[in-house]
Amino acid sequence: MPRQGRPWIGQLGLRLTLAFVGVALAGIAVLAALTALSSGQDIAQLARRQQESLTVATAVAAGAAYDRIGWRRADLRPILDLVSRDGASAQVLDRDGNVVGSSSGFSRTDPDLQTNMPVVAYGRQVGQVTVRFGDRGLGAVVPRFDAARWRARIESAGVAALLALAVSLLVSRWITAPIETTLAAMRKRVSGDRGYRISQSDMHGMGVLRELLEGYNVTTDVLDQQDQVRRNLVADVAHELRTPVAILQAGHEAMLDGLAEPTTENLGSLRDEVLRLSRMVEDLQRLSAAEAATLQLKRVPYDLAVIAAEAAASLSDAYEVAGVRLTARLREARVMCDPGRIRDVITNLLTNALKFTPAGGTVILEAEPAGRELARLKVSDTGMGIAPEELPRVTERFFRGQRSADVAAGSGIGLTIVAELVRAHDGSLDIKSELGKGTQVTIMLPGAGKPVPAS
């Protein structure tokens, strides 16, 4: 099957990519904010300590330059030059607040960025030093660091966004490719291409993604099989109805045209065909009910032996008339079941065994526990048996073996109903047969102590 042309990533992939990139950028933004908060405080504290150290050094140097006579002989130029080289400006005041020395441009410097320190000489305060920091030296450390930091953040965010975009594109493609493939296959089926399947070359992905692709093919196969079964059912019903309807039509037309007399024999023949149609409709209703039984079952703990005994008692007269011996070997076996449905199962099996067992034969009905969580129901007969090539098909709708059609009348859905009801009870059905020796049908049902699966 040719591969479907589809976009490399598609709308879903694009949305996933944008979501991944958005998450990555959000993570980067949060990390940058936290880093800026912590490192910004550290840098500001370091710069503040450096500024305080410069102020202390200036105050100490000014104290050393102080003369006992006063500030008249103090040479403050080396100190002021040192402060200027660090990008700051200083002013020295005497104890009365008079300016002793000042850097050029001190008055033009922002007074908000200044530190003060007393000048101590000979054990007493002789003045005060004020150091102001401008946009150079120590005053420019924090702004320069902030600028460099923001530049680094922008560059890192750009690189991270590119990496996130590349990785997101690959991851999105890996996630969305199987989904896009499945959607393309569904569109093909909706458009009428019921035979389309996803090829192995398109089975990309791992885990649930590959399971999604494989599940489409499996589900499509199951739907096609069910559709085929429905078509076969319609065909089978039409085939089964054709003969009795044709006989009824021909018989009535013959009587209306005067070609046949409405004698008891002719009317009895037509009545037989009517009864045949009635049985067929009844069987179809029972089959429909059996197929829907999973949703309709009312399971309760019940003794399988009691149900089997009731079914055997209801057919005892029919067995006696047919000359077939019915033997019941029943032991208490509690199961979780719908008693009415299980009785239908047993009745169908006993009726089927009676049809194909000649007079003088024997049918054995058994019910018994099979371990702690199962119960066994078995119906064995000494009838004509089933051909090996026909055995796998005996539960199919309307299937009747070549020999069975000559021996007994019926629609061919009795065992189909049995299989459906057993499946609805989460049980198993096993049929063994040998031509000329008889048939054995074994059913295993969940015991009363086993949890019932949710419907």
What is the domain partition of the chain in residue ranges? 1-191, 206-294, 297-446
CATH number of the structural domain 206-294: 1.10.287.130
What are the C-alpha distances in Å from 5 to residues 15, 184, 209, 215?
20, 9, 20, 21
**Structure confidence at residue 1 (pLDDT):** 42
Euclidean distance between CA atoms 250 and 260, whole angstroms: 10
CATH number of the structural domain 1-191: 3.30.450.20
What are the C-alpha distances in Å from 14 to residues 17, 27, 165, 181, 323?
5, 20, 10, 16, 78
- Radius of gyration, CA atoms only, the chain: 50
**Structure confidence at residue 452 (pLDDT):** 47
Cross-strand partners of 116: 130
> Under 8 Å CB-to-CB from 101, ≥6 apart: which residues?
74, 76, 77, 79, 80, 90, 91, 92
Cross-strand partners of 379: 365, 441
**Structure confidence at residue 291 (pLDDT):** 59
Terminal-residue alpha carbon distance, the chain: 38
The angle formed by the CA atoms of residues 109, 113 and 119, to the nearest 5 degrees, is: 90
DSSP 8-state code for residue 276: H
**Structure confidence at residue 345 (pLDDT):** 92
Residue 189 is encoded by which pair of tokens? 């089926």
Characterise 72 by phi-psi region: left (phi > 0), alpha (psi -120 to 50), beta (else). Answer: alpha
Q: Quick one: which H or E segment has residue 75?
A: none
Cross-strand partners of 365: 328, 379
- Give which of 36, 35, 20, 8 is closest to 163, Cα–Cα: 20
Cross-strand partners of 381: 363
124: number of CA atoms within 13 Å, CB side? 6
Euclidean distance between CA atoms 165 and 18, whole angstroms: 8
**Structure confidence at residue 454 (pLDDT):** 45
Give the 3-state secondary structure of residue 361.
coil
Q: Residue ranges of the alpha helices (H) in 6-112?
A: 10-65, 77-85
Query: Position 426: which residue type?
Result: D
Give the 3-state secondary structure of residue 71.
coil
Measure the CA dihedral 51/57/61/63, to 10°. Answer: 90
> Under 8 Å CB-to-CB from 390, ≥6 apart: which residues?
399, 401, 402
DSSP class per residue in 286-343: HHHHHHTHHHH---EEEEHHHHHHHHHHHTHHHHHHHT-EEEEEE---EEEE-HHHHH
Euclidean distance between CA atoms 162 and 154, whole angstroms: 12
Cross-strand partners of 101: 92
Euclidean distance between CA atoms 329 and 350, whole angstroms: 14
- Give which of 269, 238, 239, 278 is closest to 251, Cα–Cα: 269
Q: How many CB atoms lie within 10 A of CB 373?
A: 12
CATH architecture of 297-446: 2-Layer Sandwich (3.30)
Tens digit of each residue's pLDDT, the chain (455 residues): 444 444 555 665 666 667 677 777 777 676 666 665 555 566 667 667 777 887 888 888 888 888 656 787 777 888 888 888 777 888 888 888 888 888 887 877 777 778 888 988 878 888 898 988 766 654 555 566 666 666 776 777 777 777 777 777 767 666 767 777 777 778 787 777 777 787 766 666 566 667 777 777 788 877 777 677 677 667 767 766 777 788 788 888 888 888 888 888 878 888 877 887 787 777 677 666 665 555 567 889 999 999 999 999 999 999 999 999 999 999 999 999 999 889 989 998 999 899 889 999 999 999 999 987 899 999 999 998 888 888 888 877 666 655 554 444 555 677 888 888 898 889 999 999 988 889 999 999 998 865 545 44
| Contact (Cβ atoms closer than 8 angstroms) between residue 380 and residue 324 | no
**Structure confidence at residue 328 (pLDDT):** 95
> Under 8 Å CB-to-CB from 250, ≥6 apart: which residues?
none
| Contact (Cβ atoms closer than 8 angstroms) between residue 269 and residue 251 | yes
> Under 8 Å CB-to-CB from 427, ≥6 apart: which residues?
443, 444, 445, 446
